[in-house]
Homo-oligomer: A and B are copies of this chain.
């Protein structure tokens, strides 16, 4: 009984569009990637994209969810390592998504769906950061401000690539300076 036939195929094709868009948005950029290029890469017609997604922004949200899901799954494997290493690993892992970060910042104020995704994302990152800094011994009174600084520093490191050495120095200072006597000659 092929009554509800091939919901498989539909999901597969949708995934193929998301994967093609993810690659292009990440490596080339959102503004630099036309819907026609995405369609070609996914093996469909330009207009077909609009059968699966309301507009280009909706496709971007699907890409962001796709990328975030994979990154979170990987991050879970590192949750037992020292706090500084976890932050450093996150920066390493996310650096290639620099272009996605910029486009989210650029479109969040003008696209409701991207704005909502951005807010949700920061809620998630904030909650992870709070836990990390608390475990690292940051006093409760400084925890909120320290979390914000942590998020800003990670974002900054993504946007302004540094040498491995400089990156490590920044993260060490960030995660270590509130613990007494942690280096500095």
Residue numbers of A with Cβ under 8 A of B are 29, 31-32, 99, 102-103, 105-106, 109-110, 122, 139, 141-142, 144-146, 148-149, 151-153, 155-157, 159-160, 162, 166, 169-170, 172-174, 177-178, 184-185
B residues in contact with A173, CB < 8 Å: 142, 145-146, 149
B residues in contact with A152, CB < 8 Å: 152-153, 155-157, 160
In whole Å, how far is A167's beta carbon from the nearest beta carbon of chain B?
9
Closest-by-CB residue of B relative to A144 is B169
B residues in contact with A166, CB < 8 Å: 144-145, 148
B residues in contact with A109, CB < 8 Å: 29, 99
Counting every copy of the chain, the complex holds 2
- Tell me the bound Cα distance from A152 to B177 in angstroms: 17
- Tell me the bound Cα distance from A155 to B156 in angstroms: 8
B residues in contact with A31, CB < 8 Å: 31, 106
Contact of A105 among B122, B157, B159, B177 (CB under 8 A): B159
Contact B184 A139 (CB under 8 A): yes
Contact of A149 among B99, B110, B141, B149 (CB under 8 A): B149
21 contacts between A and B (CB under 8 A): A29-B110, A32-B110, A106-B106, A122-B160, A142-B177, A142-B184, A144-B166, A145-B169, A145-B170, A145-B172, A148-B156, A148-B160, A148-B162, A148-B166, A148-B170, A149-B173, A149-B174, A151-B156, A153-B153, A155-B155, A156-B156
Contact A149 B153 (CB under 8 A): yes
In whole Å, how far is A27's beta carbon from the nearest beta carbon of chain B?
11
B residues in contact with A145, CB < 8 Å: 166, 169-170, 172-173
